[in-house]
C-alpha cells in the first residue's frame, strides 16, 4: 500500500518535473524569440519618419567624415598644391578695398539677368573691411563678389607685390552674386590663373583651397571640402563647402588639387556662402562687361522692383516703383512722389527697376528725361533734368537733420517704437512697429546688435535698412546720421 503511494508520488513528481521543464522551455523559447526580434525590429516602428533636415544632417556628417580619410600622399599633394597656388594663382588674387571718402553706393549700376525676381535686389551688402578678387585678363578686369557694391563705384585693388591701383566697379549680379571690377592698370608680371576647369568637372568630395587677400595685402589660405553641388535653374550650379571661411576670402579663388582655378567664393549677406564654378563666373563676368559702365547721372529716386503682389495691387505688369524721392533732387523738382510707378522713360517701356536705373545712369548729366508715371488712377508725364552723379548725392544729406529711432525688443528682432523727426519719418516712410531685419546687409536679431552696429558705422556712411512690415520686406536707404536715445 505504502509502496503504491510512493510510486504514485514519484510519478507525480516526475510529471511535475516534466511539466516544469516544459514550462521553462516554452518560456525560454518565447523569450529568445522576443530578444532576437527585439534586436532586429525593436524601436523601429515608433521611430518618427526622419525629417529632411535630419537626413541632410546625417548626410553632411557622412561627407565631413571623409576628412579623416585623407591619405599621406593626398596630404602631400594638397600641401604642394597650396604652396604652388600661393605662388602662382596667388599672384592673380587681389584685395578689393573701398576708396576712402567714397560717395554713396546708392546709385551703383545694379544688374540682374533674372527680370522676374520677386524681391528687390539687395542694393548693399555686408559691411566688411574688404573682399578679394581674381584677375581675369590683362585688360584689368577683376572678378569679385557682389558685395563689392557696398564700397561705392570706385575701389582700390591691392596686389601680391603690394602695388595699389584704383579700380571702378563695372557692375554686379546680385542673383549670382558675382561682381566685376576694372583696374585702371595692372602691375608688371601678373600671372593669370588656369581657367580650364569646366563647370561639370567640379566633384562632390573634392578638396578645394580657398585663397583670398586680406586688406593688409597678406595671403589668406584655407582648405575645405566641396560638400555638395546644388543645381539651380538652367546651367546654374552652386557648390557648398564644409567649413566657413574668413570674411576677406569673399570673392576669392578656389583652387583644386591640380592647381586649377575651380571657382569663386561668394558670401551673400543673408545666405550660406557658396562656390560659383569658374566657367559660370566667367560667363556672368562677360555679361556684366556689356552693361553700360560708370553711372554718370542721377535724378534722386530710390526704386523697388514690382513683386507679384505689388503687380496685382497696382494692376501693372511692368514698371518701377518709386520708394523714395530725395528732397531738392531733380526728381523732386519734377514732382515725382513716393509710390509713383514709372511706366515709361523717353517713350520706352520700363521693364523693371534695374532697367530704369540703368537707363538713367547711362544718360549724360544735364540731359532731359521724360518719365511717364502712374499715380493712382492718373497717368502723368513729367520732364526731369539729370544731375551729375556725385554732386546730387552730396546734396541730399545736406540738411543736417538726424534720424531719431526708439527701439524695442521683439521676438522677430528690434522693432521701431518711435521715429522722428516727422519730416524725416514721412520721407523715409518708416513706421512704428516696423521690424529692422538688417543694416547694410548685416542681419540683426537683437536690439543690442542694432545699436552696436549703428554706433560702429561711420556717421557719414549711408545705411540701408531692411524692414519687415507684416509679411512684406523692403529696403530703406538712410543718408542722415541715426541717433538712438
Partner 1 sequence: MSNVIVVGFILVLALAGGNLIKLIRIPEVVGYFFVGLLMGPSFSQILTREAVGTLEFFSEIALGLILFSIGVIFDFGNLRRAGRTTTLLTLYVGLGTAVAVFTTLLVLTGSWQIALLLGTIAIEVSPIATILVLREANSEGPLTETVYNIVALNNVVCLVGFGLATFAVRSFSGTESGLALLRVLAEEALLLVWSNVGSVALGIVLGYILALWGSRVEEHSELLILTLGILLITVGSAHWLGVSSPIASIALGATLINLAPQSKNLFDVLGKTDPPLYAIFFVLAGAHLQLSSLLLIGLSGIGYTLARIAGKMIGAWVGARRLGSPLVVRRYLGVTLVAHAGVAVGLAIQSQSIFPLYAEVIAAVILGSVLVNEVIGPVLTKFAILRAGEAREEHPGAFQSL
In the shown chain, the binding pattern of residues 6 to 25 toward partner 1, with x for contact by CB under 8 A and - for none, equals -----------------x--
Considering only the stretches 35-43, 192-200, 297-305, 320-328, report the one whose residues sit in contact with partner 1 under the rule CB under 8 A: 35-43
Longest dimension (CA), the chain: 138
* Minimal distance, residue 8 CB to partner 1, in Å: 23
Residues counted in the chain: 485
46 vs 101, which CB is nearer to partner 1? 46
The answer to whether 134 and 193 have CB atoms below 8 angstroms apart is yes
Tell me how many residues contact partner 1 (CB under 8 A).
17
138 binds partner 1 (CB under 8 A): no
43 vs 315, which CB is nearer to partner 1? 43
Please give the Cα distance from 224 to 210 (Å, whole number): 7
**Which residue in the set 7, 20, 25, 33 belongs to the binding site for partner 1 (CB under 8 A)?**
33
73 binds partner 1 (CB under 8 A): no
Q: What is the DSSP string of 195-260?
A: ----GGG--TT-EEEEEEE-TTS-EEEEEEEEEEEEE-STT-EEEEESS---GGGTT-EEEETTS-
Look up residue 112 and give its three cell numbers: 540682374
51 binds partner 1 (CB under 8 A): no
**Which residue in the set 5, 44, 188, 317 belongs to the binding site for partner 1 (CB under 8 A)?**
44
Please give the Cα distance from 47 to 419 (Å, whole number): 52
Considering only the stretches 40-48, 125-133, 181-189, 446-454, report the one whose residues sit in contact with partner 1 under the rule CB under 8 A: 40-48
* Minimal distance, residue 22 CB to partner 1, in Å: 12
19 vs 379, which CB is nearer to partner 1? 19
231 binds partner 1 (CB under 8 A): no
48 binds partner 1 (CB under 8 A): no
Q: Are strands 463-469 and 435-439 parallel, antiparallel or unpaired?
A: antiparallel
**Which residue in the set 20, 25, 26, 459 belongs to the binding site for partner 1 (CB under 8 A)?**
26
**Which residue in the set 8, 27, 348, 455 belongs to the binding site for partner 1 (CB under 8 A)?**
27
313 binds partner 1 (CB under 8 A): no
The answer to whether 421 and 401 have CB atoms below 8 angstroms apart is yes
Beta bridge partner(s), residue 156: 97, 166
**Phi/psi of residue 48, each to 5°?**
-65, 155
Q: What is the DSSP string of 20-60?
A: HHHHHHHHHHHHHHHHHHHHHHTTTTTSPPPPHHHHHHHHH
* Minimal distance, residue 33 CB to partner 1, in Å: 4
* Minimal distance, residue 257 CB to partner 1, in Å: 37
Positions touching partner 1 (CB under 8 A) are 23, 26-27, 29-31, 33-34, 37-38, 40-46
Amino acid at each position: 500500500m505504502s509502496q503504491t503511494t510512493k510510486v504514485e508520488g514519484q510519478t507525480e513528481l516526475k510529471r511535475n518535473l516534466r511539466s516544469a521543464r516544459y514550462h521553462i522551455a516554452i518560456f525560454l523559447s518565447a523569450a529568445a524569440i522576443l530578444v532576437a526580434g527585439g534586436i532586429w525590429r525593436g524601436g523601429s516602428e515608433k521611430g518618427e519618419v526622419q525629417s529632411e533636415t535630419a537626413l541632410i544632417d546625417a548626410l553632411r556628417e557622412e561627407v565631413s567624415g571623409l576628412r579623416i580619410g585623407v591619405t599621406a600622399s593626398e596630404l602631400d599633394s594638397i600641401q604642394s598644391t597650396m604652396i604652388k597656388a600661393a605662388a602662382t594663382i596667388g599672384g592673380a588674387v587681389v584685395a578689393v578695398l573701398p576708396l576712402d571718402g567714397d560717395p554713396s553706393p546708392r546709385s551703383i549700376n545694379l544688374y540682374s539677368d533674372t527680370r522676374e525676381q520677386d524681391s528687390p535686389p539687395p542694393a548693399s551688402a555686408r559691411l566688411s573691411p574688404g573682399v578679394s578678387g581674381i584677375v581675369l585678363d590683362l585688360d584689368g578686369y577683376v572678378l569679385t563678389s557682389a558685395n563689392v557694391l557696398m564700397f561705392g563705384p570706385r575701389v582700390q585693388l591691392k596686389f601680391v607685390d603690394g602695388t595699389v591701383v584704383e579700380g571702378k566697379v563695372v557692375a554686379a549680379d546680385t542673383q549670382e552674386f558675382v561682381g566685376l571690377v576694372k583696374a585702371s592698370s595692372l602691375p608688371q608680371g601678373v600671372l593669370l590663373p588656369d581657367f580650364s576647369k569646366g563647370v561639370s568637372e567640379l566633384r562632390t568630395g573634392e578638396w578645394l583651397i580657398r585663397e583670398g587677400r586680406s586688406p593688409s595685402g597678406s595671403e589668406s589660405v584655407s582648405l575645405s571640402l566641396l560638400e555638395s553641388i546644388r543645381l539651380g535653374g538652367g546651367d546654374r550650379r552652386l557648390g557648398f563647402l564644409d567649413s566657413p571661411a574668413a570674411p576677406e576670402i569673399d570673392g576669392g579663388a578656389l583652387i583644386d588639387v591640380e592647381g586649377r582655378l575651380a571657382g569663386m567664393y561668394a558670401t551673400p549677406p543673408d545666405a550660406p556662402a557658396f562656390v560659383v564654378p569658374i566657367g559660370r563666373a566667367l560667363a556672368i563676368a562677360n555679361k556684366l562687361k556689356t552693361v553700360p559702365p560708370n553711372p554718370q547721372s542721377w535724378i534722386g529716386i530710390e526704386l523697388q522692383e514690382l513683386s507679384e503682389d505689388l503687380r496685382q495691387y497696382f494692376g501693372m505688369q511692368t514698371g518701377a516703383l518709386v520708394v523714395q524721392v530725395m528732397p531738392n533732387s531733380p526728381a523732386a523738382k519734377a514732382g515725382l512722389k513716393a509710390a509713383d510707378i514709372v511706366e515709361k522713360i523717353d517713350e520706352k517701356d520700363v521693364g523693371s527697376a534695374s532697367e530704369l536705373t540703368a537707363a538713367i545712369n547711362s544718360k549724360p548729366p544735364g540731359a532731359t528725361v521724360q518719365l511717364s508715371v502712374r499715380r493712382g488712377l492718373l497717368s502723368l508725364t513729367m520732364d526731369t533734368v539729370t544731375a551729375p552723379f556725385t554732386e546730387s548725392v552730396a546734396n541730399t544729406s545736406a540738411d543736417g537733420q538726424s534720424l531719431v529711432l526708439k527701439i524695442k525688443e521683439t521676438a522677430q528682432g528690434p522693432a521701431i517704437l518711435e521715429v522722428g523727426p516727422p519730416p524725416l519719418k514721412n520721407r523715409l516712410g518708416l513706421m512704428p512697429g516696423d521690424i529692422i531685419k538688417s543694416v547694410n546687409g548685416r542681419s540683426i536679431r537683437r536690439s543690442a546688435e542694432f545699436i552696436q552696429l549703428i554706433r560702429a558705422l561711420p556717421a557719414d556712411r549711408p545705411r540701408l535698412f531692411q524692414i519687415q512690415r507684416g509679411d512684406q520686406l523692403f529696403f530703406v536707404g538712410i543718408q542722415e546720421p541715426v541717433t538712438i536715445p
